[in-house]
Amino acid sequence: MRDLLRIEELTAGYGEAIVLFDVNVTVKEGKALALLGRNGVGKTTLVNTIIGVTRQRKGVIQFNGRDMSRLDPEDRAHAGIGWVPQERNIFKSLTVLENLTAVAQPGPWNVERVFDMFPRLSERKSNLGNQLSGGEQQMLAIGRALMLNPKLLLLDEPTEGLAPIIVEELLRALQRLFREEGLSGIVIEQHAKKILGMTDDAIVLERGRVVLSGHSADLLADSAQLEHYLGLAAAG
């Protein structure tokens, strides 16, 4: 299976501050990667650098055989990278339907399929973005990223701050995307156990460096490693 995303020796940060040091990551086509680590280790910076909103100092980001290093975020999105940021960033003056259609690109994902995946959005299609609950905003953020018809989906803490019942619904949707639809993805999650079961591979970041890399199933089975790198919440 070929590499969809290949990151080599990536160094990135904000202004003068370096956050990521010589990071190497590979995501194979049709595979999902769990990006794990404690708070402040550079997980969001890595995802933001892949989409191009954080400055890359050195290294290579190759996506689908193409060097992304000098491309603007819109060109990376067109190349097939969908991004669901931590803040969700719903377009608040657009309705749910308009949020989806404003960014639509041709492909198998369309409004009907997004509504089929998140029926709750269909019921609220005429509501403005700022009238949605946190869970609905997250569904909309994922739906909007899917409307780009991406080859790779970047999800930054998709379940953060959501009610358990909504978390379950979102995890089922992600499971469907990665397992049934065969979409590639990178998922950042504080609570490792939630996503290790639905991803193929995992890496752990610590202080801006990759300290552990392997199969998700192996890490899930290794309570000692989980405890060591991610703490009690992840291990328990």
Partner 1 sequence: MSTLEDRVRASLLASRRWHGAEIAFWLLALAVFWLFPRNLLLLNEIAILALFALSLDLILGFAGIVSLGHAAFLGLGAYAAGLLAKHGIGDPLVGLAFAMIVSGLAGLLASPLIVKGNDLTRLMVTLGVALILHEIANSWGSLTGGADGLQGIAINPVLGLFSFDLFGKTAYLYSLSVLFVLFLVARRMMNSPFGLSLRAIRDNSLRAAASGVPPSQRLALIYTIAASYAGAAGALIAQTSQFVSLDVLDFHRSADVMLVLIIGGPGYLYGGMIGAIVFKFLQDTISAFTPQYWMFWIGLFLVLFVLRGRTLIHGGVKLIMSRLPARVRGKRS
Using CB under 8 A as the criterion, which residues of the chain lie in contact with partner 1 when the complex forms? Answer: 51-53, 72-74, 76-78, 83, 85, 89, 91-94, 97-99, 101-105, 111-112, 115-116, 122, 125-126, 129, 144-145, 148
Burial 139-155 (b: 16+ CB within 10 A, else e): bbbbbbbbbbebbbbbb
The alpha-helical segments, DSSP class H, found in 102-213 are 111-117, 119-123, 134-147, 164-175, 192-196
Q: Compare residues 100 and 204 and give the one whose CB is closer to partner 1.
A: 100
The least distance separating partner 1 from the CB of residue 96, rounded to whole angstroms, comes to: 10
Q: Give the residue from 49, 73, 61 showing the smallest Cα distance to 24.
A: 61
Q: Compare residues 18 and 103 and give the one whose CB is closer to partner 1.
A: 103
The least distance separating partner 1 from the CB of residue 217, rounded to whole angstroms, comes to: 31
Residues 6+ apart with CB under 8 A from 138: 84, 88, 158, 159, 162, 166, 170
Q: Compare residues 121 and 205 and give the one whose CB is closer to partner 1.
A: 121
The least distance separating partner 1 from the CB of residue 72, rounded to whole angstroms, comes to: 7
Q: Compare residues 160 and 227 and give the one whose CB is closer to partner 1.
A: 160
Q: Compare residues 74 and 165 and give the one whose CB is closer to partner 1.
A: 74
Contact 178, 154 (CB under 8 A): no
The least distance separating partner 1 from the CB of residue 150, rounded to whole angstroms, comes to: 9
The least distance separating partner 1 from the CB of residue 120, rounded to whole angstroms, comes to: 13
Identify the residue whose tokens are 């089922």.
172
